[in-house]
Amino acid sequence: MALQRRVLRLGKPPRRWKVPSFLNSIKRKIREVHIQGRPLNCETGMKSRFYGQDGEQYGVEELALQYYAGEGGGWHGVHTESGIWLTIFGLLMWDIIFSDVPNVFRNKFQTAPLDLESDSFYPARKSLLESRLQEIQDGKAEDILISSWETHSGIACRGVKWDQHSLPELCATVTCIGAPCLASLCRNLAQDYQNWSSGMPDLLLWRFHGEYRGEAKLVEVKGPRDRLSEQQRAWMLLLMDCGFDTEVCKVNHC
């Protein structure tokens, strides 16, 4: 993406370059919200700290969670980055991750096959993965998640953090995010785990509309002196392409 943006700058008049095909995609706007915080410190080079609504001290992510829980719309949320997504992926794909594929398990202590982060993971299990992705697309993710949790609870698996997220929290996530977005994310992880397993936005937010319907939002939080990197911008645009509701929350000094 950085190279694409460089090409766009070089192509401005008086140069007579043909407009690149990726122009509209790369110049899309990412929604921003701005919130105010009472700073604890304003020193350059130090991580920003703020006083929360309860008078306690918080980082920008926790301050943003307070905002979204209140005047920002009554959202539930966690500061998770990629953690919760890898846990959900591991639980949904558990039997496929540990399926009988030749030469990917050398000892019983492995928490993942040797090819999980390689290009061969998806092709070697394509039929199994496509079948599972279709089940997710059909709205069966919560049932698969619960069954996997109850069957494998406490067993080590790459990316699965048993002590960081509760089963109700995971179920709420898969319900509110919706089947199409979840299937798209799982597909990307299956096809390119190494690159998709890091870099997700800071916050995952969700809220219910009735018992079985909800919505979710992914939020990248930035302090007063921060801005999106090219990599983070690329992530946000990719997630938008997958159907996710995304935005940047900018915390400013009040």
pLDDT in tens, 39-60: 776 655 567 777 777 777 878 8
**pTM of the predicted structure, to 2 decimals:** 0.84
Are residues 139 and 240 part of one domain?
A: yes
248 pLDDT band, cuts 50/70/90, is very high
The total of structural domains in the chain comes to 2
Q: How far, in Å, are 126, 185, 192 from residue 123 at the CA level?
A: 5, 17, 11
- Per the prediction, the chain carries an average pLDDT of 86
As a whole number of angstroms, the distance between CA 9 and CA 124 comes to 42
**In this predicted model, what pLDDT tens digit does every residue of 151-194 receive, in sequence order?**
999 999 999 999 999 999 999 999 999 999 999 999 999 999 99
Are residues 107 and 138 part of one domain?
A: yes
134 class by beta-carbon count within 10 Å (0-12 exposed, 13-18 middle, 19+ buried): exposed
Are residues 127 and 5 part of one domain?
A: no
Are residues 76 and 4 part of one domain?
A: no
Are residues 39 and 25 part of one domain?
A: no
Residues 6 or more apart whose Cβ sits within 8 Å of residue 50:
37, 38, 39, 40, 57, 58, 59, 60, 63, 251
**In this predicted model, what pLDDT tens digit does every residue of 190-226 receive, in sequence order?**
999 998 888 889 999 999 987 778 999 999 999 888 8
| Torsion, Cα of 169, 171, 173, 176 (10° steps) | -130
As a whole number of angstroms, the distance between CA 93 and CA 48 comes to 38
Are residues 95 and 205 part of one domain?
A: yes
CB 219, CB 247: distance < 8 Å:
yes
Are residues 98 and 14 part of one domain?
A: no
Are residues 69 and 13 part of one domain?
A: no
Are residues 157 and 103 part of one domain?
A: yes
As a whole number of angstroms, the distance between CA 79 and CA 207 comes to 15
Q: Return the CA Rg of the chain.
A: 20
Are residues 145 and 86 part of one domain?
A: yes
Give the burial string for 27-65 (b: 16+ CB within 10 Å, else e).
Answer: eeeeeeeebebebeeeeeeeebbbebeeeeebbbbbbbb
Range of the domain at 233: 32-253
Which 8-state DSSP code applies to residue 179?
H
Are residues 114 and 16 part of one domain?
A: no
**pLDDT tops 70 at residue 10:** no
DSSP code per residue over 54-74: TS-EE-HHHHHHHHHHTTTTS
